[in-house]
Structure 1
Amino acid sequence: MQSAITSIGSIMLQSSVNALGIVYVSAYTALMKIKQFTICPYNAFDTAIATYTSQNFGAGKMERVKSGIKAGFIIYGIYSIVIGLVLIFAGDKIALIFVDGSETEVLSCVRLFFQCCGVFYLAIVVLNCLRAVIQGLGYGMASMLAGICELLARAGMALVFIPRFGYIAVCFTDGAAWILAGACVAIMYAGIFKRLEKKLTKYTVDS
C-alpha cells in the first residue's frame, strides 16, 4: 500500500514535468535513475532497523531500541551527508551515463536539481529511521500516514507550485515531501514511544 501511495505521487509529478518540455523531461528521466539508485541503501537500512526494533521490543528491551535508533541515525546520517555531497558536486557528471555530453541544457537541469535536492537528503534520516522504528513497534498504519504526507506534498507541488514556478519547483519537491513526512513521523514516534514506555513500566511494576 505504501509503495502504491508513493507511485501515485510520482505519477502526478511526472505529469507536471511532462508539461514543461522535452529538455526537462530528459533531465528528469536521467536524474530519477540516479536518485532511485541512491535511495536503495535506505531500504536496506529500513529493514535492519525495523527488524532490530521488533525483536528488542518483543523482549521488552526499550533501552536497546533507543540504542538502535541512535545507531540508525548515525548510519543514515553518514550515508546521507556523503551521497548528498556527491550529488551536489558530481550529479551532472554521473548523469553522463544516461545523457550525451553535448546535451548541455539537460545536464544543467540535472545539476540544478541535485544542487537543490542534495541538501534535503538529511531529512531522510528522520523520515526513514523513525518510520522503520514505528513499523518495528507494530504501528503499520501510522507508518503509512507518512506516505500519505509525502503524497500530499508532491501533489501540492505538482498541482500548485510547478505550474506557477516551473522546473525550480520540481527541484524542491522531494525536499518538501521528505520534510513534511519526516515531521509527521517524528510527532507520531514521540507519542507512540511515550505510550509504550508507560505500558512497559506499568507491566514491570505489576509483575
Structure 2
Amino acid sequence: MASEGQTQHTESMTDGAPSYAILKFAIPLILGYLLQQTYLIIDTIIVGRWIGVGALAAVGVSSSIMFLIMGFCNGSCAGFAIPVAQAFGAGDYRKMRCYVSNAMRIALVLAIVITLLSCFLCDKILQMVNTPKDVFNDAYIFLFLQFCAIPFTIAYNLLSGQIRALGNSKQPFYFLIASSVLNILLDIVFILLCGMGVEGAGIATLLSQMFASLLCWWFIKRHMTILVPKGDERQFDNKKISILLNNGVPMGLQFSITSIGIIMLQSANNALGTVYVASFTAAIRIKYLFTCVLENIGVAMATYCGQNLGAKKLSRIKTGINDAMWLMLAYFAITVAIIYPFADNMMMLFVNGNEQDVILNAARLMRISNWFYPALGILVILRYSIQGLGYSNLSMMSGVMEMIARCGVSIWLVPILAWTGICYADPVAWIMADIFLIPAYFWLIKRLRKQLG
C-alpha cells in the first residue's frame, strides 16, 4: 500500500537529513508567505499614498479584527491537516482520505456560520475596538468585504493544508504567486484606474482568494487523486470528526485567543490617535515580512513532526527540532543586519517623507521587536511541533499566555508609556508563551518516549 502515496506530488519527511527535509519543505512556504506579505505591502502603499493616511489607518483597524476571525479559521484548517499528515506518515491512505472528507464537512459548516455572523456584527465589532470616527466608514466597507471572502479563505487553507500534509509545499506557493499577482492587478484597476477607494482593495482581495481556492481544488482533482475520497471513505465518521475537532479547534482557538490580545492592543493604540494607528499599520506590514520566515519554519515543523510521529521516529523528531532552532538563530542574525540600519527607510514606503511622526514611531517598533526574534522563533518552532505531535491543547495554552501578556500591556503599560508600551507588547507576549512552551515540550517528549517504547 505504501506505493500508492509515492507520486511526484507527495514527499515523505521521515527519511534523510532532518535539516534538509525541513528546509526543502519550508522554503516554498517562506517564499509564498513573503510573496503574500509583499502583496500586502504593495496594497498598503497603494492605499497610503494614493488614497491617504486615513484610509491606511482604516485598513490597519481592520487587520487585527481579521486576525481574530481568520486566525480561528486558518488555525482550525491547519489542525485538520495534522491527522492527514500522521496517516500519510503511517502509510494508511484510506484512513487519510476519510479524514479529508470529514474535514470538508466541518469546514463547510464553519464557513457558513462564521461568514454570516461576521457580516451581521461588522459595525458592532468596529465600535468595540474604538475605531476613530474619521476612518469608521472606510474601515466598515473594507472589513465587510474581507468577511465576505471568508468561505474562499477557509477553502484555500483547508485544501492547501491537505496538500502540504503530504509533503508538497511547492504547489500552494505557485497558487499564491498567481493569486497575489491577480490581487495586485485588481488593486491597480479598482483603486488607481477606477478610483474606488478602500472598497476596491476589499473586492480585489475577495476575488483573488476565490481564485486561489479554485486552483487548489483543480490541482487535487487533477494531480493528487490520492487525497480524493472514494466510496465509503466519503461517509460521515463520528470518531474521525472528533479527532479532527480535537486537533483543529484548539489550534483555531489558539490563534483567536492570541488575537484577542492583539485586538486589545489595537484598541489601546487606536485611542492614541490616527497617527499612531498609521504607524502601527506600517510597522506591522514590514514586521510580518520578516517574521513570516520564522512562522513558516514553525509550520514546516507541524508536518515534519506529524509524519514522523506516524512513522514512530521520536529521535528524528528531536533532531529536527534542534536543527530548526539553529536555522532560526542564523536567520535572526540576518534580520539584525537589515532592520537596525534601514528601518526608517522601510517606513517611507508607506507615507511621504514629511510624515515624520509616522516614520519614527514605526521604525522604533520594528527595531525593538527585532531584538526579541529568538523568543518568537522558539515559540513558533515548539508550538507547531507540539501541534504536529497531536497535542493542540498544549499549544493553545501558549496562546492564552500571549493573550494575557498583551492584555496586561494594553491595560497597564500603554496608558503609562503610550507608544513605548505598544512597542514592547509583542516581545512580552513571546517571552510569556516561551515560559509555558519550553517545559511543555520536554514533558511531551518524555511522555512520547514512554508511549512509543
**Global fold match (TM > 0.5):** yes
CA offsets 1:137-174 (integer angstroms, 9 cap, x no match): 11011111111111111111001111111111111110
Cα distance in 2 between the residues matched to 1:125 and 1:40:
10
Task: State which of 41, 53, 57 in structure 1 corresponds to 2:293.
Answer: 41
1:82 aligns with 2:339: no
1:1-207 residue pairs with structure 2 within 5 A? Answer: 1=252, 2-201=254-453
Task: Extract unaligned runs of 5+ from structure 1.
Answer: 202-207
Please state whether the residue corresponding to 2:360 is helix, strand or coil: helix
Cα distance in 2 between the residues matched to 1:160 and 1:111:
23
Q: 1:205 is matched with which residue?
A: none
Q: Which has the higher helix share?
A: 1
User: What is the letter of the counterpart of residue 83 of structure 1?
Assistant: T
Q: 2:93 is matched with which residue?
A: none
Kept in 2: contact 1:85–1:118 (CA 8 A): no
| Identical-residue share of aligned pairs (%) | 37
Farther-moved stretch of structure 1 (30-39 vs 129-138): 30-39
Structure with greater contact order relative to length (CA < 8 Å, sep ≥ 6): 1
Measured after TM superposition, the shift of residue 22 of structure 1 is 2.9
Please state whether the residue corresponding to 1:97 is helix, strand or coil: coil
Farther-moved stretch of structure 1 (12-21 vs 153-162): 12-21
- For the structure 1 residues 175 and 85, does the alpha-carbon distance in structure 2 shift closer, same or farther, using more than 3 Å as the test? farther
Query: Is the radius of gyration larger for structure 1 or structure 2?
Result: 2
Farther-moved stretch of structure 1 (5-14 vs 153-162): 5-14
Cα distance in 2 between the residues matched to 1:195 and 1:56:
16
Cα distance in 1 between the residues matched to 2:337 and 2:271:
30
Cα distance in 2 between the residues matched to 1:18 and 1:157:
14
Cα distance in 1 between the residues matched to 2:281 and 2:315:
44
- For the structure 1 residues 97 and 20, does the alpha-carbon distance in structure 2 shift closer, same or farther, using more than 3 Å as the test? same
Task: Extract unaligned runs of 5+ from structure 2.
Answer: 1-251
User: What is the letter of the counterpart of residue 122 of structure 1?
Assistant: P
Cα distance in 2 between the residues matched to 1:167 and 1:47:
31
Please state whether the residue corresponding to 1:71 is helix, strand or coil: helix
Cα distance in 2 between the residues matched to 1:85 and 1:117:
14
CA offsets 1:23-75 (integer angstroms, 9 cap, x no match): 22221111111122223223322221111111112222111111101111122
Cα distance in 1 between the residues matched to 2:336 and 2:327:
14
Cα distance in 2 between the residues matched to 1:10 and 1:36:
14
Cα RMSD (Å) of the superposition?
1.5
Cα distance in 2 between the residues matched to 1:4 and 1:85:
33
- For the structure 1 residues 84 and 141, does the alpha-carbon distance in structure 2 shift closer, same or farther, using more than 3 Å as the test? farther
- For the structure 1 residues 84 and 147, does the alpha-carbon distance in structure 2 shift closer, same or farther, using more than 3 Å as the test? farther
Kept in 1: contact 2:295–2:377 (CA 8 A): no
Number of equivalenced pairs: 201
